[in-house]
Amino acid sequence: MGTAVVLIVLAGIVAAILCSMVRDKKAGKSLQCGNNCAACGGHCHAQAAQKEK
């Protein structure tokens, strides 16, 4: 019984993380650098813009 509860809790956490990642991606945020262009120099955003064209 305890194993099932832990499995359900972990599945819920993974689902929440995936939903958050999908929501961020749809909002145009980068998954590679956390939308922090100062840290990555904007390289990942430039690549994403090229892929959209």
**Contact assessment for residue 31 and residue 17, using Cβ atoms and an 8 Å cutoff:** no
Q: What pLDDT was estimated at residue 30? A: 64
**Domain range summary for the chain, segments of one domain joined by +:** 2-52
Chain segment 16-41, per-residue pLDDT in tens: 999 998 888 787 776 666 556 566 65
Q: What pLDDT was estimated at residue 18? A: 94
Question: How far is it, in rounded angstroms, from Cα 10 to Cα 28?
Answer: 27
This prediction has a pTM of: 0.56
Question: How far is it, in rounded angstroms, from Cα 29 to Cα 50?
Answer: 15
Q: What pLDDT was estimated at residue 19? A: 94
